[in-house]
């Protein structure tokens, strides 16, 4: 089944084939690696088209995961999917409370200081060992000559408010940084 114009969220990637019966290695991007199997169906892009795929079976193998996709019974059939990204539709993700959000929701939001200075828009999020960091692309005519700002994602300390409706993040941050 081909699906168009829906919000696809990449949750993992398929690796090399495993064995001769159509199994593939699975690299999960979910917080708990096995959680990737709780999403069904998977969407995989084949020749530019998103295609629905179902997992027939999966298991742990050493430190990793392997899966057998429905209809893939021999190694040669499964090889077509090597290195394919695994996506799910956005509406398959668990619903969150008003205080929770997915990182992807922050991309494109305006970042404003508590004093009202517009710092720019979120373009990326860096995961560091101690805390995550918002990458904010500054406005073209930034008064402080900044092109990009790195703002630590420290809830309450730096991040004061995330407003989904206004697409705005309020921060306690010096615009000179």
| Nearest-angstrom CA–CA distance, 82 and 13 | 8
**Contact in structure between 57 and 72 (CB atoms under 8 Å):** no
**Contact in structure between 92 and 3 (CB atoms under 8 Å):** no
Task: Give 47 or 150, the one with higher predicted confidence.
Answer: 150
**Band of pLDDT at residue 49, cut at 50, 70 and 90:** confident
pLDDT value at 41 more than 60: yes
| pTM recorded for the entire structure | 0.64
**Band of pLDDT at residue 4, cut at 50, 70 and 90:** very low
Environment class of 72 (CB within 10 Å of its CB; exposed 0-12, middle 13-18, buried 19+): buried
**Contact in structure between 27 and 108 (CB atoms under 8 Å):** no
Helix (H, G, I), strand (E, B) or coil at 106: helix
Give all domains of the chain, ordered by start, each with its CATH number.
8-89 (2.40.30.60), 98-171 (2.30.30.240)
* Predicted confidence (pLDDT) per residue in 84-115, tens digit: 999 999 888 888 887 888 888 899 999 999 99
Q: Within the chain, what is the greatest distance between any pair of CA atoms?
A: 62
**Contact in structure between 39 and 29 (CB atoms under 8 Å):** no
């Amino acid at each position: 089944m081909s699906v168009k114009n829906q919000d696809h969220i990449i949750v993992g990637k398929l690796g090399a084939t495993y064995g001769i019966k159509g199994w593939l290695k699975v690299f999960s991007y979910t917080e708990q690696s096995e959680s990737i199997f709780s999403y069904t169906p998977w969407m995989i892009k084949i020749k530019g088209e998103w295609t629905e795929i179902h997992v027939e079976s999966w298991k742990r193998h050493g430190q990793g995961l392997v899966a057998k996709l429905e209809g893939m019974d021999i190694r040669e059939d499964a090889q077509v999917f090597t290195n394919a990204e695994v996506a799910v539709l956005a509406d398959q993700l668990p619903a969150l409370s008003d205080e929770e959000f997915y990182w992807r929701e922050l991309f494109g939001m305006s970042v404003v200081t508590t004093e009202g200075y517009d710092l720019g828009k979120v373009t990326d999020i860096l995961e560091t060992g101690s805390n995550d960091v918002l990458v904010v692309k500054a406005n073209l005519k930034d008064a402080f000559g900044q092109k990009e700002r790195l703002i630590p994602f420290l809830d309450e300390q730096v991040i004061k408010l995330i407003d989904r409706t206004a697409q705005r993040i309020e921060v306690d941050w010096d615009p000179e940084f």
